[in-house]
């Protein structure tokens, strides 16, 4: 069973270590835009909903991009995501 992101964040703060140190997210693949977004979202310790809220997008938008259901997101959407993940 994998812990949820809130638990991971709490553990990371309690141990004063990065989320990547705990789960080695830096080794996740980056073969497409969805994988890249997921990787950097996880490195921040955010759920899809949290990324969507911070970027001003619908959570289903993040879900579809990460799952490859939206192959070519708009430039406006990508800018919002990348600015948020920065």
Residue 10 domain flag: no
The stretch 36-52 carries a mean pLDDT of 93
Residue 16 domain flag: no
pLDDT digits (tens, 9 = 90+) for 26-40: 777 788 999 999 999
In this prediction, residue 2 has a pLDDT band, given cuts at 50, 70 and 90, of low
pLDDT digits (tens, 9 = 90+) for 65-78: 999 999 899 999 99
Does 24 have pLDDT greater than 90? no
Query: What sign does the CA torsion over 26, 16, 83, 74 have?
Result: positive
- Domain with 58 in it: what CATH number? 1.10.260.40
Q: Side-chain half-sphere of 44: how many Cα atoms within 13 Å?
A: 17
Domain that holds residue 58: 28-85
CB atoms within 10 A of CB 19: 19
Instruction: Quote the number of domains for the chain.
Output: 1
Distance CA 68, CA 18 (A): 28
Residue 5 domain flag: no
Q: 3: left (phi > 0), else alpha (psi -120 to 50), else beta?
A: beta
* Model confidence, pTM: 0.77
């Amino acid at each position: 069973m994998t812990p949820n992101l809130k638990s991971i964040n709490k553990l990371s703060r309690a141990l004063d270590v990065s989320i990547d140190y705990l789960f080695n997210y830096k080794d996740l693949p980056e073969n497409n835009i969805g994988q890249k977004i997921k990787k950097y979202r996880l490195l921040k310790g955010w759920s899809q909903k949290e990324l969507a809220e911070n970027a001003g997008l619908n959570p289903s938008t993040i879900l579809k991009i990460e799952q490859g259901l939206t192959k070519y997101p708009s430039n406006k959407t990508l800018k919002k995501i990348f600015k948020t993940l920065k």
